[in-house]
Amino acid sequence: MDDDKPTGDLTLRTMAMPADTNASGDIFGGWVLSQMDLAGGISAGQRAEGRVVTIAVDKMKFIRPVHVGDVLCVYAQVVHVGNSSMEIKLESWALRQRYGHREKVTEAIFTMVAVDDDGKPRPVPKRD
């Protein structure tokens, strides 16, 4: 089943800390989103062999809250390569209280664009 097991490569792991909480004590959605952006940048940067930027975030879904002490694991998979753009499927999973039950907490499709030194789109290198 889709929610039993992560898809993609484990690209980033970090711990949710008290400074990242909102007034209700849950972790800010923006913090989780930024971890996904980092993981998307790593994955796209490897595929594009260089600098990339985020141009769009689609189908962002916050499925479950993240709590202080959870280990956030972000999985990334390049699902489409265009000319300069790449779609990266990202899933975040929380390891509850460092070692407990693993749950999918977010998912989204990030579109990243390969750019040159001037920040202009450049082609993603072809692969067989």
Ligand X SMILES: CC(C)(COP(=O)(O)OP(=O)(O)OC[C@H]1O[C@@H](n2cnc3c(N)ncnc32)[C@H](O)[C@@H]1OP(=O)(O)O)[C@@H](O)C(=O)NCCC(=O)NCCS
Judged by the rule CB under 6 A, the positions of this chain that interact with ligand X are: 53-56, 82-85, 111, 113, 115, 119, 121
* Alpha-carbon gap, residue 109 to 100, rounded angstroms: 27
Sign of the alpha-carbon torsion through 27, 32, 38, 42: positive
CB of 113 to ligand X, least distance (A): 4
Complex with ligand X: residue 25 or 82, whichever CB lies closer: 82
Complex with ligand X: residue 32 or 113, whichever CB lies closer: 113
3-class state of residue 23 by DSSP? coil
Cβ atoms of residues 102 and 113 within 8 Å: no
Complex with ligand X: residue 69 or 121, whichever CB lies closer: 121
CB of 29 to ligand X, least distance (A): 16
